[in-house]
Amino acid sequence: MPVDSIAAAAGAFAGVAVDVSLFPIDTIKTRLQAPGGLFANGGWRGIYKGIGSVSTGSAPSGTTFGITVLTVRGNLFPGLREL
């Protein structure tokens, strides 16, 4: 598998993993900060509501990030061995 494909797959996986794991925490934080507090804004129900669209968006952005880092690193440090 070419290095670009590995970077793309790793970036997509990392992006989805981070967003899926932290989405409920971010939802609870947002509800705590809203006027009325956690329970006035839905409590524990629906903390995963909207996770599909977040996951769908995080895969392409993670892929772009992985390839960009690999390309910039290759241009800045051409003698650096690929890991």
The mean pLDDT of 43-69, rounded to a whole number, is 88
* Residue 81 placed within a domain: no
Burial string for 51-74 (b: 16+ CB within 10 Å, else e) reads eeebeeebbeebbebbbeebeeee
Using the predicted structure, report yes or no on whether residue 82 has a pLDDT greater than 70: no
pTM exceeds cut of 0.95: no
**Under a CB-based contact definition with an 8 Å cutoff, are residues 51 and 23 in contact?**
yes
Using the predicted structure, report yes or no on whether residue 53 has a pLDDT greater than 80: yes
Q: What confidence tens digit (pLDDT) does each residue in 16-47 have?
A: 999 999 999 999 999 999 898 888 888 888 88
* Residue 82 placed within a domain: no
Q: Rounded CA gap, 19 and 51, in Å?
A: 8
Name the domain count of the chain: 1
| Domain around 34 | 3-75
Q: What confidence tens digit (pLDDT) does each residue in 2-17 have?
A: 667 888 888 899 999 9
* Residue 30 placed within a domain: yes
Q: Residue 83's pLDDT is what? A: 55
Q: Rounded CA gap, 26 and 9, in Å?
A: 25
